[in-house]
Amino acid sequence: MSTVAAADYAPMGFDDSNIKWFPLGDFKHFVFAVLDVDNDRRIVDAVLKYEPSQKIFMHRHIQQTNTLVLQGEHRLYEPDGTLKDVRPVGRYTATPADPDPHTEGGGAEGAIVLYSIRADGDLLFEILDDKLEVVGTLTMQDLNGAFEMQRSA
């Protein structure tokens, strides 16, 4: 199979105008849309839109989470606020369940990131406070509910 250089194609912007964005509870600095939930294979596909230069809540990924940056710059931060990783447009990352807490958000222009969560259990994310104590969770059931609500909106 031959490869084609990216320079051979004109850059394209990502048009998110056909996505219905929703808040997730009272959480700030992002909106999201659940694209699909496959309960048999335990896969959730969602897209998140991060505000420019803002961080979301501290959390931990309990399941494998694959991401693809569609627009902007996706930034991940250590609990102390240190920048951990900067993911540019086009970066695909397959991350196994990660016990290390972090926060994340968009760069100077924000970010739109596709998430594909591959679960082997119901618990997907733990939400943490400033002391890194668990104060909430997100489960398959929660995202199923969000998916159904978003489909009927």
CB atoms within 10 A of CB 77: 17
The dotted CATH code for 20-152 is 2.60.120.10
Query: pLDDT band at 13, cuts 50/70/90?
Result: confident
For residue 3, the model assigns a pLDDT of 64
Closest CA to 46 of 149, 147, 152, 121: 147
Instruction: Give the pLDDT band of residue 103 (cuts 50, 70, 90).
Output: very high
pLDDT band at residue 10 using 50, 70 and 90 as cut-offs: confident
Length of the chain: 153
Contact 35, 52 (CB under 8 A): no
Each domain of the chain, given as residue ranges in start order, spans 20-152
Other Cβ atoms closer than 10 A to 81: 9
Residue 125 and residue 60: Cα distance in Å, rounded? 6
* Residues 71-88 pLDDT 10s: 999 999 999 999 999 999
* Structural element, H or E, at residue 62: none
Averaged confidence pLDDT in the chain: 94
Report the candidate in 133, 120, 153, 143 with the shortest Cα–Cα distance to residue 35: 143
pLDDT tops 70 at residue 7? no
